Amino acid sequence: MTGQEARQYLEEIPMWASKKNSLQDIRDFLGRMGNPDRGMEIIHVAGTNGKGSVCSYLSSILIQAGYHTAAFISPHLICVKERFLHNGRPAEEKEFLGAFERVKGLAQVMADEGYARPTYFEFLFYMFMDMGERWKPDVVILETGLGGLKDTTNVVDRPLLSVITSISMDHMQYLGNTIQDIAAQKAGILKYKTPVIYDAGCQESRRVIEDTGRRLCCTMYPVEPGQLKVISRDKVGTHITANLDKDSIRLTIPSQADYQVINAGLAIRSAQVIRDTAGLRVSPEAIAEGIRTSCWPGRMEQVFPGVFLDGAHNAGGMEALTRAIREMQKKDGRPVSLMFGVAEDKEYHKMIGELCSHIAVSRVIVAHMDTKRSASPNVLAREFAQKLTCPVEAFDTVKEAWERLLATKGDGLAFCAGSLYLVGEVEALLEHTQDQLQDER
């Protein structure tokens, strides 16, 4: 089977299954693989928003400190291989295909024995564990998929560290209808006497995390906004002083977004804790350089001057994005064009309300994404038009919408947001454009 055929096979696996493997079933599968996770030093990361950024910052810090890393992240933007990172780079085709074949073979054996076939996420998790065992990294950074308590990754029972990022309302049909309910699911990754680093900015989620941590005798390391002082912002990024430990560190975050300050703080504190508890040699210089050189596509990523992609895909993420846009508008008052697309099962009413209420918008361009989950662009456009007096346009494809955004942006700022599906399609367009330029040269 070729790599392309393997990717097609994966895309045809259901995201959800009527007969679901239990965590014990997943543990059994790993057991057949030789329990690769139990030979790994794992940092387990959960949360609603910011998980990917924290994983990226942490991986970059550890690489700067001289360690080999492996990271399992989701979702991917362009290619599924982006979910399997070795020292910050996606898995090579040969590694990807080898892991796929081994997992596919074992899945068939276990299906013959009566186990349910792996869901899409389970299959990818097994592939990562297979690759990780062969890479033999010093540290593994493992991002949860959905939730925490019942998440596939929560079969990992001996993590080095647990990290919980910001928590907001998302996936309520699976996780609960209150912040406390969702926080309880996220806090489900905590393990007995395992240190936990967490975003302490929300009192509702903080209480749940701390109650869970006390029951499990965890040493707790809250990260609060007051510990991270913003000195200035410029085109390079956000310059801060982090007072999270006995040492004060001055560093630059390669983003102008406010929300990346707390995400960087979580990664910094995590690096300091594993330095103190696990004996890893992580200097303040490695921390600063790791943050400065980190790259996480699609998260307040500037792809052209004044043109940004941001994977804000729920009400909490949109609130953080609007804060960042407001700060940028305060500096020069430039008009803002929005390109928006969203999955129909998201709370897009709240997301649109957040955008329309808190920033000055000069144009809205709505796109239909290439997924069955895409909300109707006409429905979204009507909702924007009811709240704004600026031009609102709807397009049947992301390509048309993106070209319109660039053509009408002028000297203003432009933001593409609403879904990681949307951002992924734009990233693919940019990659194709780069390939064309290379061919022309």
pLDDT, residue 20, reads 76
- Summarize pLDDT for 23-74 with one digit per residue, the tens: 999 999 999 999 999 999 999 999 988 899 999 999 999 999 999 999 999 8
pLDDT, residue 3, reads 84
pLDDT, residue 435, reads 53
pLDDT, residue 170, reads 56
Helix 3-11 vs helix 120-135: crossing angle, to nearest 10: 140
Q: How many residues does the chain have?
A: 441
Enter the pTM of the model. 0.88
Structure-token pair, residue 228: 């991270």
pLDDT, residue 437, reads 38
- Amino acid identity for residue 265 in this structure: G
Alpha-carbon separation of residue 122 from 23, 103, 128, 310, 315 (angstroms)? 10, 10, 10, 27, 27
Positions in the chain whose pLDDT score sits under 50? 436-438, 440-441
pLDDT, residue 441, reads 42
d(CA 331, CA 406): 22
The dihedral over CA atoms of 72, 77, 78, 82, expressed in degrees to the nearest 10, equals -10
HEC string of the chain?
A: CCHHHHHHHHHCCCCCCCCCCCHHHHHHHHHHCCCHHHHCCEEEEECCECHHHHHHHHHHHHHHCCCCEEEECCCCCCCHHHHEEECCEECCHHHHHHHHHHHHHHHHHHHHCCCCCCCHHHHHHHHHHHHHHHHCCCEEEEECCCCCCCCHHHHCCCCCEEEECECCCCCHHHHCCCHHHHHHHHHHHCCCCCCEEEECCCHHHHHHHHHHHHHCCCCEEEECHHHEEEEEECCCCEEEEECCCCCCEEEEECCCCCHHHHHHHHHHHHHHHHHHHHCCCCCHHHHHHHHHHCCCCCCCEEEECCEEECCCCCHHHHHHHHHHHHHHHHHHCCCEEEEECCECCCCHHHHHHHHHHHCCEEEEEEECCCCCCECCHHHHHHHHHHHCCCCEEEECCHHHHHHHHHHHCCCCEEEEECCHHHHHHHHHHHHHHHHHHHHHC
Whether the CB-CB separation of 437 and 360 falls below 8 Å is answered with: no
pLDDT, residue 16, reads 65
| DSSP bridge pairs for 69 | 139
pLDDT, residue 434, reads 61
pLDDT, residue 241, reads 96
Paired sense of beta strands 249-253 and 238-242, if any: antiparallel
Provide the b/e sequence for 229-264 (b: ≥16 CB within 10 Å): eeeebeeebbebebebbeeebebbbbbbbbbbbbbb
- Closest by CA to 239, choosing from 248, 228, 247, is 228
Tell me the chain's radius of gyration from C-alpha atoms: 21
